[in-house]
Amino acid sequence: MTRKQLIQQIQQKKSYLCVGLDTDITKIPKHLQPFPDAIFEFNKQIIDATQDLCVAYKINTAFYEAMGLKGWEAMEKTVHYISKEHFIIADAKRGDIGNTSSQYAKAFFETLNFDAITVAPYMGEDSVKPFLEFENKWGIVLGFTSNVGSKDFEQQKIGDEFLYETVLKKVCSWGNINNLMFVIGATKASDLEEIRKIIPDHFLLVPGVGFQGGSLKEVSKYGLNKDCGLLVNASRTIIYASTDTNFADEARVIAQQYQIEMATYLS
């Protein structure tokens, strides 16, 4: 998906919501457990209930890889089921030496046909560049995360700036606004104002809204740019809104609340 197409979807739906399909087999409703592929059935119903309210889906690959072949097949079926008007993200946090990264890129962009993949930049340019060499595909580089351990490296000072600031500045030179996004944690929304000074035009994938305590209002206040520039991810707060047979309806209610609020910030 191109940047222009993504922006058009945001404008049409008045939404920058990304629904996270972090599907845990132990948390899906019991009535789905007898299905031959309970994970895919759960995802299918969530997608049907939310697809007109969101512009993206993010699949956390760990939940699928942990199940072996069965999980991988469920992930593949899920990607194929999502309509192509949606931006589909593989939250896989890959990043290795160049030839290995190239194979990861082929796996997620060609074999599975994701639009984007999250990438860890620790190993440098040659580990990230392979993800930026596919037409109309995106690398989403970890920029500033909201986990407790981010203080161990990301928030350490190098001279007059934090390491994460150095990363943002450096990585920008490896790609452009048409193939490169950054992950910025929502629970540090007030820092977005400074981050936007470094990367004013790039899209940001912002996890942590909802269950993890991030504020959509604050993220939108500091993170929106002229093209919107945000994909705000909500996972557990939407997909696990209920464990009853009406779980998809309840998921839609929460997704719609986000979409309605987003529409006010886009107006």
* Domains parsed from the chain with CATH numbers: 3-266 (3.20.20.70)
* Cβ proximity of 228 and 10 under 8 Å: yes
Q: What type of residue is 112?
A: L
pLDDT tens-place values along the chain, 267 residues long: 999 999 999 999 999 999 999 999 999 999 999 999 999 999 999 999 999 999 999 999 999 999 999 999 999 999 999 999 999 999 999 999 999 999 999 999 999 999 999 999 999 999 999 999 999 999 999 999 988 899 999 989 989 999 999 999 999 999 999 999 999 987 667 789 899 999 999 999 999 886 666 789 999 999 999 999 999 999 999 999 999 999 999 999 999 999 999 999 999
Q: What is the DSSP letter of 150?
A: G
Residues in contact with 18: Cβ distance below 8 Å, sequence separation at least 6, in sequence order: 54, 55, 56, 57, 58, 87, 89, 205, 231, 232, 233, 234
pLDDT of residue 250: 98
> Please, what is the Cα angle at 205 between 203 and 207, to 5 degrees?
155
pLDDT of residue 48: 98
pLDDT of residue 208: 80
pLDDT of residue 213: 67
Question: Of residues 70, 77, 93, 129, which has the active-site annotation?
Answer: 93
Residues in contact with 63: Cβ distance below 8 Å, sequence separation at least 6, in sequence order: 22, 23, 24, 71
pLDDT tens digits for range 141-190: 999 998 889 999 998 998 999 999 999 999 999 999 999 999 998 766 77
Q: Per 3-state DSSP, what percentage of the chain is helix, strand, and coil (rounded to 5)?
A: 45, 20, 35
Is-catalytic flag, 106?
no
What is the overall mean pLDDT for the chain?
A: 95
Provide DSSP, 58-97. Answer: EEETHHHHTTTHHHHHHHHHHHHHS-TTSEEEEEEEE--S
- The percentage of the chain sitting over the pLDDT mark of 90, rounded to a whole number, equals 90
